[in-house]
């Protein structure tokens, strides 16, 4: 139901085109009315001596044209009011859409910030684990290297093999 009440851009253009045509028709009609009024005034000046019956006939035409002009003016006023109302509704809908878009933008920004904070926390944790593993492996290599250096130094001093020093008799 709301879709029927909303104006699309093409409907808006069609309304604007129809109003432009109506305004042009109004201007032509107004010109015709003014021309007819001028003709009637000329006729009245020419017919000062004519009979009352002819004068009444001319007067009827004048009032008919006057009534036509008033009806047309009323119609144009009604169209203008309808157009202004539809334009206000369209503007309100666009404003509402802008507000909704801004709210959605804020929500998306919050989600991205939250996700980026979580990723940053995970990266810090992974860096700490990486640093801890490097330290652990570095210590293990130094311990093994120290043991190897000590055993080599002892081998040089005593002349015994590592197997003899450690007492590996089964090897």
Q: Do 81 and 19 form a contact (C-beta atoms < 8 A)?
A: no
Q: Establish if 70 belongs to a structural domain.
A: yes
Q: Establish if 94 belongs to a structural domain.
A: yes
Q: Establish if 102 belongs to a structural domain.
A: yes
Q: Establish if 160 belongs to a structural domain.
A: no
> Model-level pTM?
0.36
Domain that holds residue 94: 2-116
Segment 121-160, tens digit of pLDDT: 999 999 999 999 999 999 999 999 998 888 888 888 888 7
Q: What is the domain count for the chain?
A: 1
Segment 152-170, tens digit of pLDDT: 888 888 887 777 777 765 5
Asked whether the CA dihedral 44, 47, 52, 54 is positive or negative, the reply is negative
Q: Establish if 136 belongs to a structural domain.
A: no
Q: Establish if 147 belongs to a structural domain.
A: no
Q: Establish if 171 belongs to a structural domain.
A: no
- 51: which DSSP letter? -
Q: At what angle do helices 52-158 and 9-46 cross, to 10 degrees?
A: 160
């Amino acid at each position: 139901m709301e879709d029927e009440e909303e104006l699309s851009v093409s409907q808006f253009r069609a309304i604007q085109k129809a109003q432009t045509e109506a305004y042009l028709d109004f201007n032509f009609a107004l010109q015709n009315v003014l021309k007819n009024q001028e003709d009637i005034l000329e006729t009245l000046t020419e017919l000062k001596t004519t009979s009352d019956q002819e004068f009444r006939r001319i007067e009827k035409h004048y009032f008919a044209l006057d009534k036509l002009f008033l009806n047309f003016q009323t119609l144009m006023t009604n169209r203008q009011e309808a157009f202004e109302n539809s334009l206000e509704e369209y503007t309100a809908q666009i404003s509402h859409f802008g507000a909704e878009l801004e709210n959605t933008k804020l929500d998306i920004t919050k989600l991205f910030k939250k996700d980026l904070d979580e990723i940053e926390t995970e990266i810090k944790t992974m860096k700490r684990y990486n640093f801890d593993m490097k330290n652990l492996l570095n210590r293990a290599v130094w311990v093994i290297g120290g043991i190897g250096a000590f055993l080599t130094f002892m081998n040089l001093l005593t002349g015994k093999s590592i197997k003899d020093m450690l007492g590996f008799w089964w090897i």
